[in-house]
């Protein structure tokens, strides 16, 4: 049985990142809002409240998690572009996903947020130079992190969570 936690596999840490790679990452980030809308299209409330795997988040929580996580990433990009290796604050994503609004809010709230935020994030990323992608922020648990690596991680993150939903739909016959 495949590992339902990682429907596209674990994040493959790249040893090098080319300009072409970065462009592909930006396109993956740009595509998320539409892909996510398509992945949940036609799901009813009971389906949105179905965990994508036993013990996992519900589809609704995954949608809200994407907005929470990507807001943090967007702000971290801005901080790294405007400060010298700023220290970012980690957050407890599992606890955020258990807050009442993450468990019950309409998914449209986060879909709308992702639409607007991703437009801004993609405009920013498309305008960044090689030197700007080499800028870093300091994560207290992971150390210095380059923006090109963060772009790679979030491109994977987009595909990863959409696959949680699409693989659930396939398994359930939705």
Q: Which domains are delineated in the chain?
A: 19-47+56-172 (1.20.120.450)
Instruction: Give per-residue pLDDT as tens, 103-139.
Output: 999 999 999 999 999 999 999 999 999 999 999 999 9
C-alpha angle 66-67-68 in degrees, rounded to nearest 5: 90
Mean pLDDT of the residues in the chain: 97
Task: Judge whether residue 1 has pLDDT over 80.
Answer: no
Separation CA 106–CA 119 (nearest Å): 21
- pLDDT at position 135, please? 98
Separation CA 38–CA 128 (nearest Å): 29
Pick from 68, 47, 89, 54: nearest CA to 157: 68
Q: What percent of the chain has pLDDT over 70?
A: 99
- pLDDT at position 23, please? 98
Whether this model's pTM surpasses 0.95 = yes
């Amino acid at each position: 049985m495949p590992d339902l936690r990682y429907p596209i596999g674990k994040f493959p840490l790249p040893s090098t990142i080319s300009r072409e790679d970065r462009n592909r990452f930006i396109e993956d980030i740009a595509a998320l809002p539409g892909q996510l809308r398509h992945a949940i299209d036609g799901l009813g409330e009971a389906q949105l409240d179905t965990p994508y795997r036993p013990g996992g988040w519900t589809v609704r929580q995954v949608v809200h998690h994407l907005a929470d996580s990507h807001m943090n990433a967007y702000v971290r990009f801005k901080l790294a572009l405007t400060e010298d290796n700023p220290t970012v604050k980690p957050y407890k994503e599992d606890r955020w996903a258990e807050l009442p609004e993450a468990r019950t809010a309409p998914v449209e709230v986060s879909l709308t947020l992702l639409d607007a935020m991703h437009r801004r994030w993609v405009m920013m990323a498309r305008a960044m130079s090689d030197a700007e992608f080499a800028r870093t922020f300091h994560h207290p648990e992971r150390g210095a992190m380059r923006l090109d690596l963060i772009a790679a991680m979030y491109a994977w993150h987009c595909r990863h969570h959409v696959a949680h939903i699409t693989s659930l739909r396939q398994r359930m016959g939705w």
